[in-house]
Amino acid sequence: MQAFKLLIQYDGTRYRGWQRQTGTDQTIQGKLEAVLSRSLGVPVQIQGSGRTDAGVHALGQVASFQAETNLEADQILALCRAYLPEDIGVVWVKPASPRFHARLNATGKTYRYRVWNSDEPCIFQRRYVYSFPDPLDLTRMEQAAKLLLGRHDFLGFSADKVGKKSTVRTITAIDIHRDGPEVVFTYSGDGFLRQMVRILTGTLLEIGRGEREAQSVLQILQTGRRADAGFTVPAKGLCLMEVRYD
Amino acid sequence: MQAFKLLIQYDGTRYRGWQRQTGTDQTIQGKLEAVLSRSLGVPVQIQGSGRTDAGVHALGQVASFQAETNLEADQILALCRAYLPEDIGVVWVKPASPRFHARLNATGKTYRYRVWNSDEPCIFQRRYVYSFPDPLDLTRMEQAAKLLLGRHDFLGFSADKVGKKSTVRTITAIDIHRDGPEVVFTYSGDGFLRQMVRILTGTLLEIGRGEREAQSVLQILQTGRRADAGFTVPAKGLCLMEVRYD
């Protein structure tokens, strides 16, 4: 039995998200497992560092799998490159410790959200940005972002229900900057709840547009009520940039 | 009668090129004329600065038209933005002199050709770059590029046949540089023949890969034989960046 680690990129536009589902083969995990199983001649199940939702992209998704194979990492890489569709790419395949698990061992992640903050047409990036032309006050958004840093219960900023699983997470950095016609939000933390980055971004946009106070994020953290937070921005602006391991 | 000038961007992937054709509505000119005619309530014919081939993109195409209308430039802009498909955008519409003609008055153009010069997957730019992973010697290509500068008969570098029209053009600059995994070719000149930028780039790539001498471009200029030049790179890497007017 050999263990492998993969770095994966994908354009999520055509897919129903990372996670394999019955009834559709349009998932990233499903496509990867199909190519790996066919290439290795044995059924392969891979673990991603986490699920990405339908329409979300990745430049730095990490996955792991174990398989009974004589193939080396570079041979597996070549087979992936030959057989994967053009919107899913494997950057590298490396041998991993048999104990390595892409989800369980992940200690940090970085997501980027791209907003097209302009009236001008957005032709070439249209699948990867959310068009929001209203004027945005970056200083206000940065004030709110500071209040979100650190360890909090982010239940109010997530699509998760109250349950057994902890909704406490630590955000280590939020960067907001202009890049030409875009406003780019970059979030780093130990992990993110379901739709958390998209709800954080929607809330920050409402603050940046002046319809909500920066301080209001404290109330959302306190009440844990989804209804107190802002809207959920569309999936297409979101990209998983990096997964960190110790 | 009012005259207008437009700056247009498009993703050429879905289109059969700029020029209106019978039998298909999948042309940039056709889409623009349909939207303008419907918006203004009168038939509108527009002139582009030049045709772009099927699959070629534009960040800086310029077009002009005249129409009997009471609408102002900004109203026409808003109508274009409301009704054009998401892969065609109008950056601005301005009133123009009645004598302005986007093709006849053009004095210079700049095209960019993007080569993905890496084994790594190219997920997000895949519609806009040509994947050519072989090692490239930029110095060799720059030597050849220098020989192409100036006023020459570029018949050998074009898909045109010998005819009544002059195939003499002046190239004022060719820039070749690395940008991460890409090698980007930028060509400026007073005008370009049919497929000229794509054949120049294919020839330079053969030189950069070492299978052809830099000096060989002189022979192509002398003989005017298409067969002496290199291959035609695919349309998708090409983008019209700028059209200049005095």
End-to-end CA distance of chain B: 24
CB contact under 8 A, A11 and B123: yes
Please report the number of interchain residue pairs, chain A to chain B, with beta-carbon separation below 8 angstroms: 50
Q: CB-based contact (8 Å) between B9 and chain A?
A: yes
Residue B25, pLDDT above cutoff 90: no
> Which ranges of chain A have pLDDT less than 50?
none
CB contact under 8 A, A89 and B9: no
Distance, in Å, from the CA atom of B11 to the CA atom of B1, rounded to the nearest integer, reads 31
| Pick from A89, A90, A123: CB nearest B87 | A123
- pLDDT number for residue B157: 97
Paired tokens of B139: 């110095």
What pLDDT, in 10s, does the model give residues B67-92?
Answer: 999 999 999 999 999 999 999 999 99
Distance, in Å, from the CA atom of B229 to the CA atom of B203, rounded to the nearest integer, reads 6
Distance, in Å, from the CA atom of B13 to the CA atom of B57, rounded to the nearest integer, reads 8
| Pick from A86, A119, A128: CB nearest B126 | A86
What pLDDT, in 10s, does the model give residues B90-131?
Answer: 999 999 999 999 999 999 999 999 999 999 999 999 999 999
Distance, in Å, from the CA atom of A143 to the CA atom of A133, rounded to the nearest integer, reads 21
Q: How far is B140 from chain A (nearest CA, A)?
A: 29
CB of A82 closer than 8 Å to CB of A1: no
Using a CB-CB cut-off of 8 Å, the residues of chain A touching B86 are 123, 126
| Pick from A57, A81, A120: CB nearest B121 | A81
In the numeric block, the tokens 């095209």 are attached to: B111
- pLDDT number for residue A140: 97
DSSP-based three-state secondary structure for A2 = strand
Residues 6+ apart with CB under 8 A from A166: none
Q: What is the ipTM of this complex?
A: 0.86
Paired tokens of A101: 């698990």
Q: CB-based contact (8 Å) between A224 and chain B?
A: no
Q: CB-based contact (8 Å) between B38 and chain A?
A: no
Residue B31, pLDDT above cutoff 90: yes
Among the listed residues A175, A160, A205, A204, the one whose alpha carbon sits nearest the alpha carbon of residue A53:
A160
- In a mutagenesis test of the A interface, which of B52, B123, B125, B126 is the best target, namely the one with the most A β-carbons within 10 Å? B123
- pLDDT number for residue B164: 85
CB contact under 8 A, A121 and B11: no
- pLDDT number for residue A164: 85
What pLDDT, in 10s, does the model give residues B150-174?
Answer: 999 999 999 988 788 899 999 999 9
Tell me which residues of B are annotated as active site. 53
Using a CB-CB cut-off of 8 Å, the residues of chain B touching A120 are 89, 91
- pLDDT number for residue A116: 98
Q: CB-based contact (8 Å) between B120 and chain A?
A: yes
